[in-house]
Amino acid sequence: MVVTRFAPSPTGDLHLGGAWTALASHALGGRRILRIEDIDEPRVVSGSQERIVSDLRWLGLHWDLGPEDPTTVQSARKPLYRDALDRLRAQGLVYPCDCSRAEIARIASAPHAGEDLVYPGTCRNLPHDRAFRRAPALRLAVPPGTVERFHDEGGGGGVVSQHVGRDVGDFVLQRGDGLFSYQLAVAVDDATMGVTHVVRGRDLLASTPRQLLLMRLLGLRAPSTYIHLPLVVDAAGERLAKRTRGARVRALRDAGISPEEVVGVLAFGLGLTADTTPMTPDALATRCADLAGPLPWARAPFRIPERWAALDANDEQEMP
């Protein structure tokens, strides 16, 4: 059985990038989970979760398990992350690191522009009981030679391979302030929730090998299918920033745009329909179920229609 999840962060209103991913996930049918990724608690905006849920429902999206059940909210799942961390520690795969980002930057370099720095392993072999200069983060000691591979079924996808130690380095599992990392939380959540199909933006493609590695080390069953979608861009073709006008679903809703129109435009952008005819998410799911073979996911980014961009005068919202 197909099990999907849409996992927004409650850091602002639902944007078209989130609606795009949620609709793509809905189109696969099966059992649908709405998971709230509020693990980075300092960034959580009061009332954001409720507004996101309201906008998803306005679009016609629905789920079988959602935030009314606390098991779908990351802040309520910390015991699971703590247990996973303890299990990795018992394998000798966790060590403390008190390096600052500035220190790492001085001796490391990002593999590609815009990507995170590769951690050089400065603290890997230092005593765990030493005096720390600052509250230490906890890092995974990536086993030497680890290569993770998976098949991305998104448009233009294929086999993705990452040499985790070389391309990423020993990555953070728990920050110095005690917050669990995105990589650990998502790996544990997808596996323990029984997710079979992960649908998300192409900007998260490089995170997948780390999550697969964590699941393997923890003896967890990984999702069978990953679909990384092209990104949503603004009317000028630039990737959506935190303050891009025309990006909020709420602005379209307030302007009187019908949810069926929004769904029709997004479905066409995803490559799942031949035109922008208004439709409901359930109608799209039915259409996709009738298609033979893999779904024809779009290869190109989705550009926000200019008429939508002109509707949103609020440029102070942070994207989930």
Residue whose pair of structure tokens reads 């008429």 in the numeric block: 307
Q: From the candidates 57, 221, 242, 243, which is the catalytic residue?
A: 242
Closest CA relative to residue 261, chosen from 16, 40, 73: 16
**Cβ–Cβ < 8 Å for 208, 226:** yes
Please, what sign has the CA dihedral across residues 231, 309, 4, 207? positive
Distance between CA atoms of residues 127 and 95, nearest Å? 9
Q: Closest Cα partner for 89 from 217, 213, 222?
A: 217
Q: Is 242 in the active site? A: yes
At 219, list the tokens: 């003896």
Across 157-177, b (16+ Cβ under 10 Å) vs e yields beebebebbebbbbbbbbebe
Residues classed as catalytic: 242
